[in-house]
Each structure stands twice: as C-alpha cells, then as structure tokens.
Amino acid sequence: MKILHVEAGMHLYGGALQVVFLLKGLKARGVTCVLACPTGSAIATEAAPHARIVEMTMRGDTDIGLVGRLRKLIRAERPDVVHLHSRRGSDLWGGVAGRLEGVPVVLSRRVDNPEPRWLVALKYRLHDAIVTISDGIRQVLLAEGVPASKLTLVLSAVDTERYRPDRSHLAWFRDTFEIADDELTIGMVAQFIARKGHVTLLEALPDVLTRHPRLKVLLFGQGPLRDDIAARVASDPLLSQHVQLPGFRKDLDRILPCLDVLAHPAHMEGLGVSLLQAAACGVPLVGGRAGGIPEIIQPGLNGELITPGDAPALARALDALLASAKLRQQYGQAGRQWVIERFSIEAMVQGNLSVYQRLAATHRSS
C-alpha cells in the first residue's frame, strides 16, 4: 500500500509531529509513504528517514495552483490513498486534486473551531473520510452536518519514551532559565495566538504571585501575538520579575519534567499535544474546558479544568497545586498512566491505517 501525505505547515508544531510519528509507524508496517510539504519546512528533515519527501510551493487558502501540483504528484506516485494533514489550503485544494484523480482522500481535522455550514457542505464532500483527533472535534463536525459515517476518531499520540518523568536535567534547567533552588515553576507551551489563552494566564498571575512570590513562569513558543504579550509583561513591574518568554524550544523533553505545573487555559483546542507531553513527563495540568482538552485533563485525577477566560478560577487552580507538593506528585503520576493507556503511538498509527485499508478496499471493489 502507498499513501501520499500532504502537510502544509512550515513549523514542527503538534500536528506536524503527529505526521512524523505516523510516517515512522507506517514504514514499520511495510506501508510506502510519500510526503508533500512546503519547500524549506521543518517536517521535511524530520520525516526524511520514513518517507520520500517532495517539497513544493504551498501558499495557503488562495493557492489554487496547488491543485495542479498535487495532481501531477498523484499521477507520478499512483497512491492508494491521499491523506491531508492540515488546513492552510491543503484541505480544500488537496481534496479537489484527489477527487479529480479518482483517489480516495482522508482529511485529519485537528482544530475545533466551527466553520460556516455552507462551507462545511461544500468542502467535506471532497473527502471520503475525516479523522478527528478528539471527540470534541468530532462533535463540532456532527453539529455542522457532517455525516457520522465519514468520521473516525483517532486520538493523537505522544512518545512516552522520549517524554517521561526525568528530573536529571534539573540543575541545567534552573541554570538555563535562571531559577533559584527555592522557586517553583509554571510552564505554558503554545503558539502565541489568541485562542491559546496567554492573556488569561497573565490576568491570573497577580493573585497567584501574592500567595507564591517565589515563582517563575515560562511561556514557550512563537507566533503573531508574541510581541504583544512580551510588551505587556515588560510594562508590568510584577510580571516582568516573574515571567519569561524563552521562545520556541526543541528540547522540551528535557524542560517539561522540570516544571512544577503546566498551564494551558485555551479557549479553543483540538486536543493539545503539549498537554500530552507534559502529562507523560509526570507534570500536573491546568487547562481550559474547551475542545479536546477534557479528554486529557481529568479533574481530581491529573489536573484541573477551568471555564475558558476565567482568570480567578485559573488562579485558584494554580494556587492549589503550587501549595501542595503531594498533590502535584499524585496528579503527575496519574497523568502519565492516563497518557500511556489512551494516547499511544501504536494506537494512533493503527487507527489511521485501518481507515486507509477500508477506503482502499472500497475503492478497488467499486
């Protein structure tokens, strides 16, 4: 079996990492994979050991020329299935290309933001199957009129061997981010975009810092709102003493286990790969009750949920965890077990492969 994958993202964020996991797992099962991705994208290097890489121009939603480029690639490779892994135009133009070439098309839906019903009715008829990475996303699509028969739930995965409770790097961590031995840490790992909830965290911090003055907050990531958040921190004498913006890091497997709490007060979220990674590292979680986040955070087991935008509730949840090392340890241990049982790479790979096999069999019989 041969699968043509299309990933239009330039950076190795959560969705692109899932594609790398999938390609590696499919190769181990004897499936031939080809990956079409933007020229110069980070995934091209990461995925090269597991698939043939074809870099091409991908300009987003208005790039109708992507149809022709993908049709040419489909004709050359003759895949059994085309799997579209992102939006940015590839969901639409990739669907058109696959349909015109008569190849079954799978779309992975990784975000939970609603779309106009007219667009849903037009776009999703291009796809033979839609894989949702959380039940929250599945419910959004059902509410918008997508037939249940098109939807398959395949949870995203985390590498629990790479991300594990290992505080052997604690001295390096404290030295790198200038954290004293008696200071606790809150981390947030997310793109700097409005729906991730950075503003909610900043609004909650004054109350938290009143009760926990020996605290550092690390906001990891990049994105269009980073400068705005940095300016807000710099203009506040209290926040500027406690909040850092270290940027995008490729060594989160060393950083996450050293955090005391991970905060993710998102307003919208397909699932939340950083939550999975932190939980696998034994870190307690506080997140927004949005999208697929409640499928990771189980209140009273491995973390706490808040209503998105509720800064006082976030402050209370963070305060409770920072005040109790015993509770942090309890939540951390339970969180790792929760991830191991429900979010394995093996299950994710097999779930996608089952969709391919079903579509390919139906296509051959027709």
Question: Nearest CA to 26 among 85, 87, 111?
Answer: 85
Is position 48 within any domain?
Answer: yes
Asked if residue 279 belongs to a domain, the reply is yes
Q: Specify if 163 maps to a domain.
A: no
Are 188 and 140 part of one and the same domain? no
Q: For residues 161-176, b (16+ Cβ closer than 10 Å) or e, as one string?
A: eebeeeeebeeebbee
CATH number at residue 182: 3.40.50.2000
Q: Is the domain of 40 the same as that of 183?
A: no
Q: What are the pLDDT tens digits along the chain (366 aa)?
A: 999 999 999 988 888 999 999 999 999 999 999 999 999 999 999 999 999 999 999 999 899 999 999 999 999 999 999 999 988 888 999 999 999 999 999 999 998 888 888 888 889 999 999 999 999 999 999 999 999 999 999 999 999 999 999 999 999 999 999 999 999 999 999 999 999 999 999 999 999 999 999 999 999 999 999 999 999 999 999 999 999 999 999 999 999 999 999 999 999 998 898 999 999 999 999 999 999 999 999 999 999 999 999 999 999 999 999 999 999 999 999 999 999 999 999 999 999 999 999 999 999 987
pTM: 0.84
228 and 116 part of one domain: no
136 plus 196 within the same structural domain: no
Distances in Å between the Cα of 305 and the Cα atoms of 127, 198, 257, 264 are 34, 16, 21, 10
106 and 179 belong to one structural domain: no
What does the longest C-alpha to C-alpha distance in the chain come to? Answer: 68
What pLDDT does residue 14 have?
82
Domain co-membership, 128 together with 211: no
Token readout for 199 is 């503003």
Domain presence at residue 164: no
3 state SS for the chain: CEEEEECCCCCCCHHHHHHHHHHHHHHHCCCEEEEEEECCCHHHHHHCCCCEEEEECCCCCCCCHHHHHHHHHHHHHCCCEEEECCCCCHHHHHHHHHHHHCCCEEEEECCCCCCCHHHHHHHHHHCCEEEECCHHHHHHHHHCCCCHHHEEECCCCCCCCCCCCCCCCHHHHHHHCCCCCCCEEEEEECCCCHHHCHHHHHHHHHHHHHHCCCEEEEEECCCCCHHHHHHHHHCCHHHHHHEEEEECCCCHHHHHHHCCEEEECCCCCCCCHHHHHHHHCCCCEEEECCCCHHHCCCECCCEEEECCCCHHHHHHHHHHHHCCHHHHHHHHHHHHHHHHHHCCHHHHHHHHHHHHHHHHHHHHHC
The answer as to whether 162 is a domain residue is no
Report whether 51 contacts 33 (CB < 8 A).
Answer: yes
Domain span at 84:
2-157+344-365
Q: What strand order describes the sheet that includes 215-220?
A: 243-247, 215-220, 184-189, 261-264, 285-288, 303-306
Q: Are residues 142 and 184 in the same domain?
A: no
In terms of domains, do 226 and 82 share one? no
Number of domains in the chain: 2
In a domain, 35, yes or no: yes
In a domain, 14, yes or no: yes
One-letter amino acid identity for 359? Answer: L
Indicate whether 149 and 58 sit together in one domain: yes
* Residues 255 and 350 reside in one and the same domain: no
Q: Are residues 235 and 293 in the same domain?
A: yes
- Res 86: pLDDT: 83
Q: Does residue 165 fall inside a structural domain?
A: no
Residues 212 and 153 in one domain: no
Tokens 């008829």 appear where? 125
